[in-house]
Chain A
Amino acid sequence: DGGITQSPKYLFRKEGQNVTLSCEQNLNHDAMYWYRQDPGQGLRLIYYSQIVNDFQKGDIAEGYSVSREKKESFPLTVTSAQKNPTAFYLCASSSSDRVLNSPLHFGNGTRLTVT
């Protein structure tokens, strides 16, 4: 079955360390997204990519970096510059760069805890 896989489900890191969250999709979708979810704040867009080797900042990109070397993969690195990295991170994809007729398909998320 096609879908989006985020790994790992839980991730623990020490403050000051960079950490990379994995997101892989086999839906043949062009666009991929990273969201951060905090209680009471809904989903906030970190980065998105409409095509391989191209990506754009979302609303809260500071302290994060991404790459899109392959269509099916969109890893997110949480750097030590991110002041409050502990959160639930969701990856999503859609079949076009603008979801005018295509909703987002989500992975099951990675919960990152930084101490």
Chain B
Amino acid sequence: AQSVTQPDIHITVSEGASLELRCNYSYGATPYLFWYVQSPGQGLQLLLKYFSGDTLVQGIKGFEAEFKRSQSSFNLRKPSVHWSDAAEYFCALDSDMRFGAGTRLTVKP
């Protein structure tokens, strides 16, 4: 069965620190994976997507994600977090768009 798991419900980082949000998937073939960001009370915005090819994917707002087939992971990273990055982040899998439960990011000044 297809599924996506985000193990961390809530993460707090200091402004300027690096960030990594975890996403694990279960899928029988090559997955198509997405990361979205949601500000409070808003819809979701696409950060980046992976379909094939290079395993390191660049997105908007300075985010990147690395696809690791051996670990069934697609973790989101950012080298230096800004206060405006505080939001909820969702990983999503493939065409029926199953979403993880989300990770809420808090940024400390």
Contacts and interface: CB of A to CB of B under 8 A. Distances in A.
Interface of A: 4, 6, 33, 35, 40-45, 88, 90, 92, 98-101, 103-104, 106-109, 111
Given A43-B99, A45-B97, A45-B98, A103 B9 contact: no
Contacts of B92: 104
Contacts of A108: 41-43
Contacts of B102: 42-43
B44 A106 contact: yes
Interface of B: 6, 9, 32, 34, 36, 41-46, 49, 51, 90, 92, 94-102
A104 B95 contact: no
Contact of A42 (B32, B43, B49, B90): B90
Contact of A109 (B9, B36, B41, B95): B41
Contacts of B32: 99-100
Q: Which of B41, B46, B94, B95 has the most CB of A within 10 A?
A: B95
